[in-house]
């Protein structure tokens, strides 16, 4: 396995380049040093159509800079919960606060600004099929309006970081499942999101690559990103010592560690 460069070096290539309107990398780091609640759910329910509630009475909060594993059996509602987190869905009831703002009643036109602060690794990758691996990874930066001259270096380095530097021009259809997953992960973290949401991110990779990707999430978390990873992999869960667990069962959240109660517990307490 090749030596892993510190993730901060990848981001350092973009230091000073604003991630969002008026907020630079350094400012984001400074902002994240202030502990607080990044996600808060209060009695949240989600129902698709007229069916039964997929998620019921969810009440928990996640603190800024935390590392969370979301577990639970298949059909427990993990993906639905993640959809609420990455703003693909609004709840049927209840209150969700994200980055300190109520996103349930938030006007639709404000959502893009919030979405740019979230990185998502989809279970089915959702790579754009006619774009190369490079262009897929560059997508969040281009959406955010980063100049082309500031894209090539970091994207190339990020692809190298996930072991796909030599596959930059390959289309998703020519990549293996594991390679697609790594492209999806690189795309999710390239803009250095404040919140990273990953749905079974290591499901298609070998243990060595899983370890490497987890190291990526860990590094990102140490730089201040709040990480939420949905997984069945108990080995993965045990590999991050400071991580907290959110267990979901039949659409309801269990809080085995007590970490999710209000107010959120500080990491150092």
Partner 1 sequence: MKGGVRKFGSAERRLLPEGRLSGPMPWVIAIMMFLSVLAAAAGLGLGGTAESLGEDIGSRVTVQVLEQNPDRREAEARRAVAELGRLPGIADVRRLEQNEMEDLLEPWLGPGGLQADLPIPAMIDVQLDTATPAALETMRTVLAQVAPSARVDQNSQWLAPLAGLISALRWLAVGLVLLMVGATAATVVLAARASLDMHRSTIEVLHLMGATDIQVARLFQRRIALDALFGGIVGFLAAAIALLLIARRVGALGSDLIGSTNLPAASWALLAALPVLGVVLAMLVARATILRALRRML
Residue with token string 């667990």: 245
Q: Which of residues 58-77 bind partner 1 (CB under 8 A)?
A: none
Q: Is 13 in the site for partner 1 (CB under 8 A)?
A: no
Nearer to partner 1, 18 or 255 (CB): 18
Tokens of 184: 């999806």
Virtual torsion, Cα 212, 28, 226, 223, nearest 10 deg = 30
Give dist(CA 221, CA 65) in Å, integer. 6
Q: Is 120 in the site for partner 1 (CB under 8 A)?
A: yes
Q: Is 14 in the site for partner 1 (CB under 8 A)?
A: no
Q: Is 140 in the site for partner 1 (CB under 8 A)?
A: yes
Q: Which of residues 208-267 bind partner 1 (CB under 8 A)?
A: none
Q: Is 123 in the site for partner 1 (CB under 8 A)?
A: no
Q: Is 121 in the site for partner 1 (CB under 8 A)?
A: no
Nearer to partner 1, 91 or 178 (CB): 91
Contact segment (CB under 8 A) with partner 1 among 45-53, 60-68, 116-124, 217-225 equals: 116-124
Q: Is 10 in the site for partner 1 (CB under 8 A)?
A: no
Tokens of 215: 């190291």
Separation of first and last alpha carbons in the chain: 36
| Residue 226 C-beta: closest distance to partner 1, Å | 17
DSSP assignment string, 121-181: E-TT----TTS-HHHHHHHHHHHTT--GGGTHHHHHHHHHHTT-GGGTT--GGGS-HHHHH
Q: What Cα–Cα distance (Å) separates residue 193 from each residue in 64, 75, 106, 114?
A: 12, 28, 20, 10
Nearer to partner 1, 11 or 233 (CB): 11
| Residue 69 C-beta: closest distance to partner 1, Å | 22
Nearer to partner 1, 12 or 111 (CB): 111
């Amino acid at each position: 396995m090749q030596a892993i460069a510190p993730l901060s070096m990848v981001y350092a290539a973009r230091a000073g380049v604003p991630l969002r309107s008026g907020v630079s990398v350094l400012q984001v780091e400074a902002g994240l040093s202030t502990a607080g609640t990044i996600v808060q759910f209060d009695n949240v329910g989600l129902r698709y159509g007229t069916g039964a509630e997929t998620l019921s009475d969810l009440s928990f909060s996640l603190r800024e800079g935390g590392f969370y594993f979301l577990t639970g059996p298949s059909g427990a509602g993990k993906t639905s919960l993640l959809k609420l987190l990455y703003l693909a869905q609004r709840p049927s009831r209840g209150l969700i606060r994200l980055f300190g703002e109520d996103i349930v009643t938030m006007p639709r036109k404000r959502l893009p600004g919030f979405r740019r602060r979230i990185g998502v690794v989809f279970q089915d990758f959702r790579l754009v099929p006619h774009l190369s691996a490079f262009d897929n990874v560059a997508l969040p930066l281009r959406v955010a309006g980063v100049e082309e001259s500031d894209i090539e270096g970091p994207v190339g380095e990020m692809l190298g970081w996930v072991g796909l530097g030599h596959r930059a021009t390959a289309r998703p259809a020519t990549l293996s499942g594991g390679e697609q997953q790594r492209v999806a992960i690189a795309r999710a973290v390239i803009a250095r999101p404040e919140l990273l949401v990953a749905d079974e991110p290591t499901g298609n990779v070998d243990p060595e690559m899983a370890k490497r990707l987890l190291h990526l999430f860990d590094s990102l978390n140490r730089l201040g990103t709040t990480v939420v990873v949905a997984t069945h992999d108990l080995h993965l869960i045990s590999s991050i010592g400071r991580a907290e667990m959110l267990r979901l069962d039949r659409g309801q959240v269990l809080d085995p560690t007590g970490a999710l109660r209000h107010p959120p517990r500080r990491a150092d307490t």
